[in-house]
A and B are shown apart, each in its own frame.
Chain A
Amino acid sequence: MSGGDGRPFGAPLKRKEDPRLLRGRGKYISDIKLHGMLHATVVRSPHPHAEIRGIDTAALLADPRCMAVLTAADFEDMPELVCIDAEETTLPFLQPALARDKVRYVGEPVAVIVAEDRYDAEDLMTLLEVDYAPLPAVVDPERALEPDAPILHFQSNLTDTLHYSDGDAAGALASAPHVLRERFATQRYAGMPMETRGVIASYEERSGFTLYSSTQVPNGVKTNLQTALGLPENGIRVIAPDLGGGFGVKLQIYPEEILLCRIAQRVKRPVKWIEDRWEHFVSTTHGREQFHDVEVGYDDEGRILAIRDDCVTNTGAYLQSLTMVEPFIGVCMLTGPYHLENFEATAKVVMTNKTPMNPFRGVGHVQAAFTMERIIDSVAADLGLDPVQVRLRNMIQPEQLPLNRKFGNVLAGTIVYDSGDYPTCLKKAAALAGHADFADEQEQARAEGRYIGMGIGCFVEETGLGPYESGTVRVEPSGKITVLTGACSSGQGHATTLAQIAADELSVDMDDIQVLHGDTDLVRFGVGTYASRTAAVGGTAVRQAAGKAKDRAAFIAGQLLEVDPVDLELRDGAFTVAGSPGASVSLADVATAVAPGSPLPEGVADYGLEATDVFHPKTNTFAYGVHVATVEVDIETGVVKHLRHVVVNDSGRVINPLILEGQVQGGVALGVGGALLEEILYDDDGQPRNPNFMDYLVPGVQNVSPEIVVEHMEIPTPLNPDGIKGGGEGGAVGAPAAIANAVANAIRPARIAATPLFPARVHEAIVAAGLGATVEGTKS
């Protein structure tokens, strides 16, 4: 265990960033005001699919409140958003910054209007006349593949089909004693941070563009903007202020970042745009919508012999930066912690007239875990076996790790599970949840007319994604330490956890460390925060940079004390000489000795005490965990109550258990939303049906169990020096699977094959199973 002996690494320290936020001194994008700033609104398509025959700006420009308008006509070459998986096939499906001839989803940007005041800018939107010729729309991905379906782009709505195969699935299915055929569906929902997106752009001839954006990836936005606007590296600076949550939906470039730069340059004043919640629902990326048609062969003991998976992902109207991750992970991580000889999958990637999809918290893994864990429970139920035993029979054993899973993609490389002990994790979680005794409890509850259920959700998750992260550690002449990271925070607490790593390496007080991020002029190279990567990759970069700074400090201290650096010990911010307690120099003394303004110490060649390092992980880490959910289902209404939730997680070594527990609990709540409450709904014509918080239910305090118990196994990964795997997403990955299994367990033998488990859907399953039919007043 870590956290002993007073070391900051591993200690449940309170967060350094909190006093500022608790006093109301956070600085989020909407709090920033620049001198002379104007306000923009984005005119968006009200149609899911339409030709644009013309845009008439005359009435708009005649209004004195209109400072500027931007339409596709203002661009010679329309910049497009990037897609990382830029193979030939994906290129025609990229989103233009502004729609030119055609719109393909409700919410697609068509024009930008600028006024002195946001209220006025919103008034002006009604004066822009866009001549739309509506086209038939398609929202169902299977309908989109039919020969007579409306085509979004050209030729076909099928953008790509991924194929993965290992062993002989067809042969094993043909000879399997039992075969399960089922369609498992995960709905479209979204990260839904409490802060919407926002952008402020300004342009000055002296320094070029400065863009404030509520982004998880300032350096990525900078690079993409260079491409979109044709700028050199020093032509643009991107600043990410405090973020009010991200959850993945702020990890790519968006049209507004390009458009506001253009319009700010034109009006020669800073321009601000803050997304409203309706816009957020239609213009910020969605995720998840994925269907798995599986055939599963298994034997009498519940051993899975083969799986064939036909997967369809509804990506919406355009491919975004990382859209292809959703189908890739959805099938390649399907089998999670289980051993499987025979596997065959195809993943179709289909365009429809919905808002584009891109990863958010738990991308692909959520659908994979839901599908696989429902498979396991279905097999156990069919054979009358204990679901824990069936899992144990199929699990990869610790001695099989590292294990090459053979599949991979451009971004992730080949999947190699690095380290861990999946069976022990399951046993611990089952014990903590009281799984062995639950059947009795359940029987007693049933006798009282209460339908309670317990369900398990195991997962393995790709974490600590590359390609790299940067870290800089500077010792100031005052002895204060400045840490710079490319991994900017969207609420995870990097100002604390990265300081814990630097404090650990430099043996200094946490109060002396300040972590800065979110400014591309401050951090020249960086990647950002997503894919549970900052602790593992960003933390390692900080550890290495601090190590280099320490080595340099030791060398300088050796020169000052006239001793060999190997005889020096760094403790409490000072070097002492082993065996001579009187001889000592502090880090402040060392930094002062190499500060410009006076001659350098003998033998020291350069001024300054600072080091930068970049960590490129060889490959990803793989965190894993087991969730056990307990629920109660109201048999008359289908309402599910989330009673208790246990998580045993292996995120590798833990920097700060308080923060990690918060990450897991928050992830579980997001999973409760995905399991029970949240779905972005469209009607058949492509109109969003619930783009507001009255009709789209984000879990509130009453929806989430008051008891979310989190325990950690800390099996270090060999892939980075601190053995960190990452823990930002696992809560969201395991929860929907566990909750769905718990509901299925509560109302067995009812069929549960899709989320969200809205009361109506659960009730339908209850009625179909003939449960509760005797209750007076229950209708089908």
Chain B
Amino acid sequence: MLIQLRDVSKLYEVGAQEVPALRGITMEVGENEYLAIMGPSGSGKSTLMNIIGCLDTPTSGSYVLKGREVGSLDDDELASIRSAEIGFVFQTFNLLPRMTAFQNVELPLVYSHVGRHARDGMVWKAVDAVGLRERAHHRPNELSGGQRQRVAIARALINGPSILLADEPTGNLDSATGEEIMQIFRELHAAGNTVILVTHEQYIAEHARRIVKLRDGMIESDSVA
């Protein structure tokens, strides 16, 4: 099993009060699944995504990723797991504005210590995969929203991650462009990638094969389409 969450809870301290964001989440995700995590704002879906993406650790419970307990790792170990296993795609793209598309895609390789000469070929391959060879040397502000999100997807894929984690990937795009991006995810899934979408839009979630709905920090439903 790729991901095993067992009774995962997350408490946030707001002043003197403890606010629970997740309450006893137990779920599993296998290799090559296409999963959507849904829920209204405040349901805990962002917190769950952060934990799955190793940006955060649970307050209690266990998170095993590829057979490795993640909950007790320190910051550096989490960083290296993010580098090797997770590819993030954000609603707001989060490209570095002063870098070209090419350099943005290259950046994760820098942090995973891939040599300079090996990088070039890998970056071009990823850029080609999202159809952006022509625009590779442009900066984000010279690209359309859809093109920016493609750059972000190429960046997420460059290290060959186990999980592609997309947080509202179409939220800042018009519906036609959003559809194109969803098409890319579909292809990536078909090519063997594990994709986890986080969204509050039913029609986006319906692209996935399995939908997990959260409410008040708990799983409300877990259904396969």
- A and B physically associate: no
Q: B residues bordering A, Cβ < 8 Å?
A: none
Q: A residues bordering B, Cβ < 8 Å?
A: none
